[in-house]
Amino acid sequence: MLSFCYHLAPMNTEPLISFIIPVYNEEQNIANMLRNLHRVTEANPQWNSEVIIVEDGSKDGTLKIIQEEVKKYPRTQLLIHGNNQGYTRSLKDGIAKSTGKFVMYIGADEEFDSTEIPNFVNLLDHGVEGADVVLGVRWQRNAYKLFRFFLSIIYIFLLNFLFKLRINDYNWSQAWSRDVLNKINLRSKSLFVLPEIIIKAHDLNFKIKEIPSNHRGRHWGKSSVNMRIMGFALWEALTFWRYRSSKKYSPTA
């Protein structure tokens, strides 16, 4: 079930960029995350940006906190999932509701440093010399335990091997042009959704650029990612690899 709760100032012009924030059980992080994000957007009024928060049926006090926080910020929209539907469904719902020329995904857990956002936007909004997809790359993952670090390295290596790409980070903050999102149909129902965007954008000859990004680690709470979730993403990657290798494959389908 999806319900909508709006807190959105009138828009006289199309936003340059929409920020999509899927949220689940982040009561200790979300207020500070939104505060840091809006410091950046307020410092860059030329973006005319919109923020779309997708609250995915949290079981803690996240929803109540967000409902109070959005009162502080115009041009912010809250989408509410009555039941937990997962990160991928939340991301897709946010993208579908966005209206910006560019769209950027940001995690709600405070691991991403919002002061880096202009680096992404500037690359997108740079005319013919700009990028269509901008990928943040966590060169250092100091907050990861050793097992998760090696799991991430193996996952990246496997995706690059399967899809013949040279991408250094598939599942961090990303930004996309509207043209990319309009041309692809996302099939994934797992964490593979971000790699799917990258692969299909590559197959459609869109420009993809990577930029270094700081991985700060969590201050509060723990990630909901587990082996079951990672296993499903890997299964979808293998399924998509077989489909991409077939004559039926189209990056727009």
Rounded to whole angstroms, the Cα distance separating 218 from 111 reads 6
pLDDT at residue 149 in the model: 65
pLDDT tens profile 22-60? 999 999 999 999 999 999 999 999 999 999 999 999 999
Which CATH architecture describes the domain 2-142+172-184+204-220?
Alpha-Beta Complex (3.90)
pLDDT at residue 11 in the model: 53
Residue 137 pLDDT exceeds 80: yes
Cβ 135 vs Cβ 142: under 8 Å: no
Average pLDDT over residues 169-195: 95
Residue 144 pLDDT exceeds 90: no
Q: Tokens at residue 131, please?
A: 């990028």
Structural Rg of the chain based on CA atoms: 17
If you average pLDDT over every residue of the chain, what do you get?
89
Residue 135 pLDDT exceeds 60: yes
Which class for 17: exposed (0-12), middle (13-18), buried (19 or more C-beta within 10 A)? buried
pLDDT tens profile 78-114? 999 999 999 999 999 999 999 999 999 999 988 899 9
Q: Tokens at residue 185, please?
A: 């149909």
pTM: 0.90
Domain boundaries defined on the chain: 2-142+172-184+204-220
Q: Tokens at residue 27, please?
A: 């009561």
Instruction: Find all residues with CB under 8 Å of 113, minimum gap 6, and list them.
Output: 213, 214, 216
Between 40-54, 150-164, 231-245, the lowest mean confidence (pLDDT) is in 150-164
Instruction: Find all residues with CB under 8 Å of 253, minimum gap 6, and list them.
Output: 185
Between 2 and 117, residue with greater pLDDT: 117
Rounded to whole angstroms, the Cα distance separating 136 from 190 reads 20
The per-residue b/e assignment along 150-161, b for 16 or more CB within 10 angstroms, e otherwise, is eebeebbeebee
Query: pLDDT tier at 226 (50, 70, 90 boundaries)?
Result: low
Rounded to whole angstroms, the Cα distance separating 203 from 138 reads 24
DSSP the chain: -EEEEEE----SS--SEEEEEEESS-TTTHHHHHHHHHHHHHH-GGG--EEEEEEE--SSSHHHHHHHHGGG-TTEEEEEESS---HHHHHHHHHHH--SSEEEE--SSS-B-GGGHHHHHHHHTSGGGS-SEEEEEES--TTS-HHHHHHHHHHHHHHHHHHT---S-SSS-EEEEHHHHHH------STTHHHHHHHHHHHTT--EEEEEE-B---SSS-----HHHHHHHHHHHHHHHHHHTSTT--TT-
pLDDT at residue 228 in the model: 77
pLDDT tens profile 65-84? 999 999 999 899 999 999 99
Question: Other CB atoms closer than 10 Å to residue 227's CB: what's the count?
Answer: 8
